[in-house]
Structure 1
Amino acid sequence: MFIIIALILIIFILLMLVIGTIATGITPTPTSAAARKKIFEISSPHTPDSIAELGAGFGAMTFSYARQFPNAKITAYEMSWFPWMILLLRKLLFRYRNVYIIRKDFFKLDLTSHDFLYTYLYPGAMRKLSLKIHSHRKFTLVSNTFHLPDWSAAKKARVPHDLSSSCIYIYKKP
């Protein structure tokens, strides 16, 4: 009986991931430890008040930012059900008081209250994001791996010891 329940649970989780991938266009892809280290290294001079992780997945960066910036409000936007549930569970288990989890399409929301944005999106979503934030007031945006079309990065750094030779891009709008 235990094996049957475990199999049903695994199939349910896989189905939720597939549905989420179809809906969003990308699978939840965690930010590697090497990338997180590089991101904090090059973004450490910032003291944001409100951070948004756009497409938070399982929350690797959400909870890293919550620890790094305990006085900032961290908002994790995630549309896929299963990663969203994991985000909620992590928030409750570890009692992050500065983390807010929203299950909505951030492309349809006003992001102007955030002064710091983080994303690890695919190129098509980066094009869409480029248009969305064009009229956004002052902000810093950190992007893992994919650049923001039609914007010049203020800083670009390769992630050392990364198999995919990814880069971290920092964009600033004064």
Structure 2
Amino acid sequence: MIISELFLLISFVLIALLITGSIVYSTVKLGISPMPSSNKAHLAMIQLINETGSGTIVDLGSGWGNFVIRIAKKYPQRQIVGYELSFLPWLTSSCLKKILRLQNLTLHRTNFYHADLSMACVLTCYLFPKAMEKINHKLQVEKSDVHFLISNNFALPSWQPYKTIQLSDFYKSPIYLYKIGQTKTEIK
């Protein structure tokens, strides 16, 4: 009995260390930890998605799947694609996708900077300023069907938002909607 309890304890500790190690490794490698958006942010982003038509939605940095799974369930007629490099969040969202049988959701464990986003009508993201700079560059260089970008908290450099929703949270977080190719401004 004591040996089985000890084995369970050691197993639990090893699993906890592997999980922690995986998240720390991904955080160091990517420069940011997988951070889920708040429910208020999700609702505001969904409100903006309602204004984007019927094309494919691509979530850049889909994390634990909180948002992509929610929009895949809400918009079963739309193709939803998520990109996530961190192993554990990607694995979690992939398992949830299978459990919920979301046929319209595709999850990639790939760097979205190197992905072909030409099929995307809408990009959604909750990234950080340096990542937004890279997305800005990608949008300027590549030809794609991206019509909208919805960003939680971080602005897209050199673009003017078409619409901004200010959340009623402690930080008054902004959610931006950009019309790509229509409202671009040059910042000097």
Q: State the TM bucket, normalised to the shorter chain.
A: over 0.9
Q: Is the 8 A contact 1:51 1:72 kept in 2?
A: yes
1:170 equivalent in alignment to 2:177: yes
Instruction: Find the residue that maps to 1:156 and give its secondary structure.
Output: strand
**From 121, 125, 129, the counterpart of 1:119:** 125
Amino acid at match of 1:81: F
Q: Is the 8 A contact 1:47 1:69 kept in 2?
A: no
Which residue in the other structure is 2:92 paired with? 86
Q: Spell out structure 1 runs of 4+ moving beyond 3 A.
A: 135-138
1:30 equivalent in alignment to 2:36: yes
Amino acid at match of 1:87: S
**From 14, 18, 31, the counterpart of 1:12:** 18
Q: Is the 8 A contact 1:49 1:71 kept in 2?
A: no
Give 1:138 shift: 4.2
**From 84, 109, 114, the counterpart of 1:108:** 114
Which shows bigger deviation, 163-172 or 145-154? Answer: 163-172
Task: Give the distance between the partners of 1:109 and 1:40, measured in 2 at CA.
Answer: 24
**From 126, 148, 152, the counterpart of 1:144:** 152
Identity of aligned residues (%): 30
Give 1:41 shift: 2.2
Change (3 A) 1:20 1:7: same
Which shows bigger deviation, 122-131 or 42-51? Answer: 42-51
Instruction: Find the residue that maps to 2:120 and give its secondary structure.
Output: coil
Instruction: Find the residue that maps to 2:24 and give its secondary structure.
Output: helix
Task: Give the distance between the partners of 2:47 and 2:146, measured in 1 at CA.
Answer: 22
Give 1:164 shift: 2.7
Which residue in the other structure is 1:156 paired with? 164
Task: Give the distance between the partners of 1:138 and 1:5, measured in 2 at CA.
Answer: 46
Higher relative contact order structure (alpha carbons within 8 Å, sequence separation ≥ 6): 1
Amino acid at match of 1:85: L
Instruction: Find the residue that maps to 1:57 and give its secondary structure.
Output: coil
Give 1:59 shift: 1.1
Task: Give the distance between the partners of 2:71 and 2:53, measured in 1 at CA.
Answer: 11
Give 1:25 shift: 1.2
**What TM-score does the superposition give when structure 1 sets the normalisation length?**
0.94
Which residue in the other structure is 2:8 paired with? 2
Superposed, which structure 2 residues align to 1:4-83 within 5 Å?
4-83=10-89
Task: Give the distance between the partners of 1:62 and 1:104, measured in 2 at CA.
Answer: 16
Change (3 A) 1:146 1:106: same
Give 1:169 shift: 0.3
Give 1:54 shift: 0.3
Instruction: Find the residue that maps to 1:96 and give its secondary structure.
Output: coil
CA RMSD after TM alignment: 1.3
Task: Give the distance between the partners of 1:73 and 1:25, measured in 2 at CA.
Answer: 29
